[in-house]
Amino acid sequence: MDLLEYQVKEWFGKIGIPVLPSQRIDHPTDLKRLKIRYPIVLKSQVHGAERAKAGGVRFAETTIDAIAAAQSIFNLPIWGELPEVLLAEAQYDANQEFYLAVVLDTAVCRPVLLGCKEADIDWESAGEKMEYVVVEQEFSPFYARRLALKMGLKGTLMQSISSVVEKMYHLFVQKDLDFVEINPLAVSTSGQVMALNGKVRVNERAIKRHPDLTEMAAKIISRHPSTEINSILGDWDGVTMRGKIGILGNGTGSVMATLDLVANAGGNPGVCLNLRHAFLTDKTPTTFRDRLETGLKILAADKGIQVILINFLGSIPQLEEVGQVIAEFVQSEKSELKSQVVRSNGSKSRREVSVLPLVIRLAGSEFNAVREYLDTIKTHSDALVVVENLDEAVDEAVRLAKSTVSKK
């Protein structure tokens, strides 16, 4: 989950990373009650990059200027996202600007400290200009000093920069971050440092152990439609593609293998979900059964999806309830269809007036009971296919997706 700048700066302030006096603006009229002194800078609070280039950052000398600027920023979408709030901030006279970051490197399984004496880095050539230090053992401030020295800093500046890096690292660990970045970190002529902009990405798997983050995630979810949630919260253990075949599985590997097989068989994979983990959208602890229910609903709600392919093998928790959840889903699809046919005058699209076909691959003796149960439902529904072989399940799903299209 990515935080917005004003949220990041609240954290920075609390942990002692120097930030400018600022104020959150929810509405242009808030500027009438501004507590910071002019001139100010107004910044659009969106997740997208290159905010300044897009016109999301404006300078203002007076209240009138500021209100006009705020009005235009509130109506300016950046990468399709309209800001809900703006940040009004004092201006700062920078003599030098640096780049600082802490990132988790999953390849060496250690955090890495990054630093550069330039703020506007050309990421293509970052390898030559960026200095880094791997935090091999338990962190201690000397790692931060090592980075500052590698950056070529000396004296008090070396100390003030390494002190900022140290605080960034503490924040990184405290809040389970994937990365924290200050870009730029400004240095005044007197040597004072100031974080002018900050970015934070929280690890998805850790959100639920931080009450404040859980609340933030819940707000994002309640405000944004599901496709947008994905881009703000990251991949919650799924893949979003635009195809017609939605995939559910009980492990990352088999979800990916199924996706490959569908694509190789000439089908178009759609949203793919791994049910082994809880979704970020779940506010309370979930069971496998809950996730299967939610997964089916997500796929059914996706207008592009015309076939659902489930691939379960080995064993899954709450197995006895899985058959039931699937049966209920098939039944509810049917009853919805009936009520739609009654209401509609024949103008509904194909997808809306047909039952969503379900192809279920179940492999393993633990699934025998479920298979038998589903066989009893199958006799009543032609839209439910249960097979044991994966290749066969994929072929069936691809065939069904194609036949749905041709009947359109």
Partner 1 sequence: MNLTPDSKVIIQGFYEFISATHIAQMKAYGTNLVAGINPGSGGEQQYGVPVFDLVEEVIEQFGTIDTTIICVHPYQVLDAALEAIASNIRQIIIISAGVPPLDMVQLLRKAEACETLVVGPNSPGIIVPGKILLGTHPSEFYTPGPVGIVSRSSTLTYEIACELTKAGLGQSISVSIGSDAIVGSSFLQWLQILDEDDTTEAIILVGQPGGGSEETAARYIAEAIDKPVIAYIAGKQAPPAKHWRQTGTLATIIGRDPNFGTAQSKLIAFKEAEVPVAERPSQIPELLRKEIN
Residues in touch with partner 1 (CB under 8 A): 103-107, 109-112, 114, 123, 126-127, 130, 132, 137-138, 172-173, 176, 178-179, 201, 203, 205-206, 208-209, 234-235, 239-241, 249-254, 256-257, 259-261, 263-264, 269, 272, 276-278, 287-288, 313-315, 317, 363-366, 390-391
Give the three-class secondary structure for 385. Answer: strand
**Under 8 Å between Cβ of 299 and 271:** yes
Residue with tokens 């091999």: 136
Q: Which residues pair with 133 in a beta bridge?
A: 113
Would you state the torsion angle of the CA atoms of residues 57, 61, 63, 67, taken in this order, to the nearest 10 degrees? -20
> What is the CA angle 105-109-110, rounded to 5?
70
To partner 1, the closest distance from the beta carbon of 164 in angstroms equals 19
Interatomic CA distance for residues 131 and 30, integer angstroms: 42
Interatomic CA distance for residues 45 and 89, integer angstroms: 12
Residue 38 or 139: which CB sits closer to partner 1?
139
Residue 73 or 387: which CB sits closer to partner 1?
387
Tokens encoding 69:
């600027």
Residue 218 or 319: which CB sits closer to partner 1?
319
Residue 86 or 133: which CB sits closer to partner 1?
133
Residue with tokens 């300044």: 52
To partner 1, the closest distance from the beta carbon of 341 in angstroms equals 37
To partner 1, the closest distance from the beta carbon of 223 in angstroms equals 20
Residue 145 or 361: which CB sits closer to partner 1?
361
Residue 290 or 333: which CB sits closer to partner 1?
290
Listed residue (54, 61, 50) closest to 88, CA to CA? 61
To partner 1, the closest distance from the beta carbon of 353 in angstroms equals 31
To partner 1, the closest distance from the beta carbon of 278 in angstroms equals 7
Residue 4 or 200: which CB sits closer to partner 1?
200
**Under 8 Å between Cβ of 247 and 258:** yes
To partner 1, the closest distance from the beta carbon of 110 in angstroms equals 6
Would you state the torsion angle of the CA atoms of residues 239, 298, 319, 329, taken in this order, to the nearest 10 degrees? -140
**Under 8 Å between Cβ of 82 and 74:** yes
Residue 28 or 111: which CB sits closer to partner 1?
111
Interatomic CA distance for residues 279 and 288, integer angstroms: 11
To partner 1, the closest distance from the beta carbon of 255 in angstroms equals 8
To partner 1, the closest distance from the beta carbon of 181 in angstroms equals 9
Would you state the torsion angle of the CA atoms of residues 390, 395, 398, 403, taken in this order, to the nearest 10 degrees? -140
- The full DSSP string for 89-135 is EE----SEEEEEEEEEETTTTEEEEEEES-SS--TTSHHHH-EEEE-
Residue 24 or 199: which CB sits closer to partner 1?
199
**Under 8 Å between Cβ of 81 and 105:** no
To partner 1, the closest distance from the beta carbon of 124 in angstroms equals 8
- Type of residue numbered 397: A
First to last CA, the chain: 39
Residue 89 or 395: which CB sits closer to partner 1?
395
How many angstroms from the chain centroid is the CA of residue 179? 14
To partner 1, the closest distance from the beta carbon of 31 in angstroms equals 34
